[in-house]
């Protein structure tokens, strides 16, 4: 189908199925879910909260945001299809899927992606022996894209790039990397390398938190982003993408177009998996529910990427990585991922479009 048709269908299905169902279950309203099932002609739903894995628990502990379906647009030949991403295994046998197939007249790309979590390095998760001494986990002076970085109370994330905001030169990464999921205060210290990789205070201080986009527990988030002003006298290289393509260095060439190319080949440098290559499998994904320390958060308008070959495109600790296209233009900021899905079964990566990131921070990418 045409792009406009895929976009319109996505919005219709979100309003008809996904948003009402998620609301009904999150509020423990079986009657409402039953009414929805009847109106859609979906026998077998019966408003059963177990459809979304809601076991017996105190009502006040039920998460406000439930994992269910994410909907977006998937490239397909010279056209597009409705992208349906299942975040719960139980939904594979749900009558909802047959309803979606009929609505899309078969032009649908359905994938099980499972649980999606932020891509910060989890405490206690060790580095692989192969990459434990990689340059991107050590101190890098000048500061480089792809290197280990983090707020002083965060395990580890990745330096995504450098931006200007007013008179300040800043490093770019995620809120959960630089602002500790909104727990940090402006002017808190950021260290490179990050604490999980041996960074220490005060020796490895390189920047101070300047601005972050708050994470919303209710409603849809668009970005997970923050910037920290680089300390005066700390050298940085806003262009070098060290060893990005087949072990060879590349240079950042600015910001790419807002519309993602069909099946676009992309690259990233990250603190955990280093340089990787992938392919865009969906974009404009709405209702992507991501696990954070503070609970489940919804994100709209996201990009999905699968890794090439047998490797995942990202892993924990790659949060904040800048994703570039084959022309070395910035496309997106990596923030989350799953452990299943994709052609190689190694999981999928989710990223914020870079234009939206820069606009939210009122910043300009340096290169």
Residues facing 157 on adjacent strands: 149
Q: How far is CA 228 from the centre of its chain?
A: 20
The fold of 239-361 is: Thrombin, subunit H (2.40.10)
Torsion sign, CA atoms 205, 210, 216, 221 = negative
Q: How far apart are CA 28 and CA 31, in angstroms?
A: 9
User: Average pLDDT in the 271-297 region?
Assistant: 97
43-100 confidence digits (pLDDT tens)? 444 444 445 555 555 545 556 688 999 999 998 888 999 999 999 998 888 888 999 9
Stated as kind and residue range, the H or E segment containing 34 is helix 30-40
pLDDT at 300 over 90: yes
> Mind listing the pLDDT tens digit for each residue in 205-259?
999 999 999 999 999 999 999 999 999 999 999 999 999 999 999 999 999 999 8
Of 364, 363, 142, 139, nearest to 233 by C-alpha is 142
CA 95 to each of CA 33, 51, 101, 117, 262: distance values in angstroms, whole numbers, following the listed order? 14, 11, 10, 27, 30
- Give every CB contact of residue 219 below 8 A, 6+ residues apart in sequence: 298
- SS3 of residue 303 by DSSP: strand
The two three-digit tokens of residue 113, written as one number: 């992606």
**Model confidence, pTM:** 0.91
* pLDDT one-digit tens code per residue, 102-123: 999 999 999 999 999 998 766 5
Distances (CA, A) of 248 to 19, 242, 244, 275, 315: 45, 7, 6, 10, 22
User: What are the tokens at 139?
Assistant: 């101190």
Q: Using CA atoms, how far apart are residues 84 and 244, in angstroms rounded to an integer?
A: 31
**C-alpha separations of 199 from 31, 194, 304 in Å:** 53, 5, 31
Alpha-carbon distance of 250 to 256, in angstroms, equals 16
Distance CA 241, CA 252 (A): 7
CA distance 350 to 314: 9
Domain boundaries, the chain: 3-112, 135-230, 239-361
Strand partners, 62: none
C-beta separation of 192 from 172 below 8 A: no
Are both 135-230 and 239-361 of the same fold?
A: yes
* CATH 2.40.10 fits domain 135-230: yes
Q: State both tokens at 247.
A: 């072990």
SS3 286: strand
Cis peptide before 76 (omega within 30 of 0): no
Q: Are 319 and 334 within 8 A, CB to CB?
A: yes
* Percent of the chain's residues with pLDDT above 70: 85
Considering only the C-alpha atoms of the chain, give the largest distance between any 2 of them, rounded to a whole number of Å. Answer: 66
Mean pLDDT, residues 187-201 = 97
């Amino acid at each position: 189908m045409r792009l406009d048709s895929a976009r319109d269908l996505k919005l219709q299905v979100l309003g008809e199925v996904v948003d009402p169902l998620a609301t009904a279950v999150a509020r423990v309203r079986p009657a409402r879910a039953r009414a929805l099932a009847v109106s859609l002609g979906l026998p077998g739903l019966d408003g059963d909260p177990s459809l979304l894995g809601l076991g017996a628990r105190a009502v006040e502990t039920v998460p406000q945001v439930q994992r269910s379906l994410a909907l977006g647009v998937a490239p397909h030949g010279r056209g597009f299809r409705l992208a349906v991403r299942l975040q719960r295994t139980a939904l594979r046998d749900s009558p909802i899927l047959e309803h979606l197939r009929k609505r899309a007249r078969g032009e649908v790309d359905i994938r099980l992606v499972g649980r999606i979590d932020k891509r910060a390095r989890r405490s206690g998760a060790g580095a692989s022996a192969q990459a434990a001494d990689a340059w991107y986990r050590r101190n890098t002076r000048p500061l480089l894209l792809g290197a280990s970085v983090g707020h002083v109370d965060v395990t580890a994330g990745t330096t995504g790039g450098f931006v200007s905001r007013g008179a300040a030169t800043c490093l770019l990464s995620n809120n959960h990397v630089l602002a500790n999921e909104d727990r940090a205060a402006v002017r808190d210290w950021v260290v490179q390398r990050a604490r999980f990789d041996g960074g220490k205070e005060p020796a490895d201080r390189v920047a101070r938190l300047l601005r972050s986009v708050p994470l919303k527990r209710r409603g849809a988030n668009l970005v997970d982003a923050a910037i920290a002003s680089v300390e005066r006298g700390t050298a940085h290289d806003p262009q070098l993408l060290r060893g990005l393509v087949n072990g060879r260095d590349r240079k950042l060439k600015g910001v790419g177009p807002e519309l993602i190319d069909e099946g676009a080949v992309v690259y990233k440098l990250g603190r955990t998996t280093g340089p990787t290559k992938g392919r865009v499998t969906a974009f404009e994904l709405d209702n992507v529910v991501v696990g954070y320390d503070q609970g489940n958060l919804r994100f709209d308008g996201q990009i999905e990427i699968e890794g090439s070959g047998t490797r995942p495109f990202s892993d924990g600790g790659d949060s904040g990585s800048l994703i570039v296209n084959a022309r070395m233009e910035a496309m997106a900021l990596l923030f989350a991922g799953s452990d299943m899905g994709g052609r190689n079964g190694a999981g999928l990566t989710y990223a914020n479009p870079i234009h939206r990131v820069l606009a939210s921070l009122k910043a300009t990418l340096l290169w």
